[in-house]
Amino acid sequence: MGFFRKKEDKVKEDFFRVGAIANTHGLKGEVKVFPTTDDPKRFDFLKQVFLDTGREKMELEVERVRYFKNLVIVKFKGIDNINDIEKYKGCDLLVTRENAVPLEEGEYYLADIMGAQVFTEDGEEFGVLEDVLETGANLVYVVEHEENEVLLPVIPSCVKQVDVEEKKIVVHLLPGLLD
């Protein structure tokens, strides 16, 4: 089936979300970032990010990073005052595809299969992958099927094949999934 990067969300073809500004931290322009990437320590290696303001993507240089509980405290170069950053609370931090975490053999970004056609093992068209949910145990594909949402656990007994190039997923419908 292959492995995947579950949290680096695709925002557009060229950008992946790695976090969102949760709040300011102190008065000197630092922010608390809620990471949306598999490994928050990846912030140690980020040199630049793009701040998605909704209207534009501002390129920011990362000056320093530290960690507090489940958050990442980030200081951007040239932003030295709480007033300069406060208005960006809730905004996403993005990286380019080139700066995303490199994939290992057989891995793929979930963002690259969004909108994929989902087929049963018998070759019947089942629906379209609309979203992916995280649960404690595994991911769950949200598939639009006959104007309903069907939740499919991403486990080997259910998801049999993922073809990123063709944007095609083959599934085995476990008993009870359509009830």
What is the chain's pLDDT, residue by residue, as a tens digit (179 residues)? 444 444 444 444 578 889 999 999 999 999 999 998 877 888 998 899 999 998 999 999 999 999 999 999 999 999 999 999 999 999 999 998 888 877 788 778 888 899 999 999 999 999 999 998 877 788 899 999 998 999 999 999 999 999 999 999 999 998 888 87
Domain ranges of the chain: 3-100, 114-171
What fold does the segment set 3-100 form as a domain?
Answer: Elongation Factor Tu (Ef-tu); domain 3 (2.40.30)
Between CA 78 and CA 91 the distance in angstroms is 18
Are 108 and 164 contacting, i.e. CB atoms less than 8 angstroms apart? yes
| CATH superfamily name and code, 114-171 | PRC-barrel domain (2.30.30.240)
Strand-pair partners of 120: 171
- Residue whose C-alpha is closest to residue 101's, from 22, 144, 54, 37: 37
* DSSP 8-state symbol, 118: E
- Residue whose C-alpha is closest to residue 57's, from 115, 14, 101: 14
* DSSP 8-state symbol, 112: G
The SS3 of residue 164 is coil
What is the pTM (predicted TM-score) of this model?
Answer: 0.68
Between CA 126 and CA 150 the distance in angstroms is 10
